[in-house]
């Protein structure tokens, strides 16, 4: 995706009691909803994301990873 465009990652877990999003395995402070919004996305947002989904008691699951790749706005000029 291009820098400056919005991006949204989300997880569907109807019985979840809490969420914690991570980027490259590190928890993102305040990212505790079922979605993670990038509006607008920047180059620094590129990375691998997953979410820990908590259930009742001590039960939890970790989602599959999603790769977010943000590319700079611009164009490619090819000279021959």
d(CA 80, CA 46): 32
How much is the pLDDT for 42? 95
Return the domain boundaries, the chain: 7-68
SS (H, E, C) the chain: CECCCCEEEECCCCCCCEEEEEECCEECCCCCCCEEEECCCCHHHCEEEEEEEECCCCCEEECCCEEECCECCCCCCCCC
- Provide mean pLDDT across the span 44-70: 96
**5 pLDDT above the threshold of 80:** yes
Q: What is the mean pLDDT of the chain?
A: 93
Q: Tell me: the pLDDT tens digits for 19-35? A: 999 999 999 999 999 99
CATH code: domain 7-68 is 2.60.40.10
- Section 29-51 average pLDDT: 97
């Amino acid at each position: 995706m291009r820098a400056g465009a919005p991006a949204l990652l989300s997880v569907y877990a109807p019985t979840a009691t809490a969420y914690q999003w991570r980027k490259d395995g590190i928890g993102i402070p305040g990212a505790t909803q079922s979605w993670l919004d990038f509006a607008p996305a920047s180059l620094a947002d590129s990375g691998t994301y997953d979410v820990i989904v908590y259930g009742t008691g001590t039960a939890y699951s970790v989602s599959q990873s999603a790769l977010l790749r943000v590319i700079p706005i611009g164009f490619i000029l090819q000279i021959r």
